[in-house]
Amino acid sequence: MFNKLIAASLPYMPKKLVWMFSKRYIAGETIDDAVRESKKLNDQGIKVTVDLLGEFITNLDEATENKESYLKIIETFETNKIDGNFSVKPTFFGLLIDEEACYQNIRTIVAKAAEYNNFIRVDMEDSPCVDQEIKIFRRLKAEFPKNVGLVVQAYLKRTYSDLQNMMDLQNGSSNLNYRLCKGIYVESPEVAYKKYEEINDNYVKDLDFIFQNKVYPGIATHDKPLVESAYKLIEKYNVPKDQYEFQMLYGVTPDLRKSIVDKGHTMRVYVPFGKDWFGYSTRRLKENPKMASLIIKALFKRG
């Protein structure tokens, strides 16, 4: 009840107050903020993936603006020699308005990244978007085999089958590249595992399949038991350190992050920024009210 109350009231709170909740997890509003925080992470031996905040636009003019913003972000990050790549949400480019327009917008962004031999990660969103997003990924992968990857979500019951069904895209010169995360959207029990143990078990099952098939994973988790399970799988399959990476969100579990880096594993931090930080923060709490108590704790203790 407490969590739901906080989540429901947050959109009506002063933005300055909400920023107190959000600032540890968002790099800032501008490209300069994102570059500054990314450089700090690079200086610690940590790679980044950058995300301009915003989702679920209402018209294609917004999609075009977002595309142009990403082209500028890529140019800026390359000019500043940031060790990082870029994450895009298809709904930010018109997926729910015009799938073909969305594809063309993201294709332009991937083509720009490919000019620098860089990489675009297509984020996965809630379950109604999954089929469309896999379709877009397939089209991009065919044209830009080394410059595009996908997110898969362990809590979706379909994910293991999706991994199997996309193996036709794997080849020796251009391995598949997935970010494996638990998943954050509120889904029905028909399509998603709901219990902590079930989600973790399926995360490990998915990761085992990924390693067995020599797919490159971004092991995206802040859950220490899953990190330990990943270590065991890496040892079991004798996976070279350049064939996987760990990934975490900006500002979350810095102590665990440091321990992974100290062991010599590649780490990449997801760096969100943008003027839509308020909408991002309030949407995330609406989607997952359980986060409210964690955020309250985070105001008093980092990690």
Q: Return the structure tokens found at 5.
A: 């109350």
Whole-number Å distance between alpha carbons of 40 and 84: 12
The set of catalytic residues is 123, 179
CB crowding 50-69: b at 16 or more within 10 Å, else e: bbbbbbebeeeebbeebbeb
Whole-number Å distance between alpha carbons of 39 and 301: 24
Cα angle, residue 57 at apex, residues 79 and 47 outer, rounded to 5°:
30
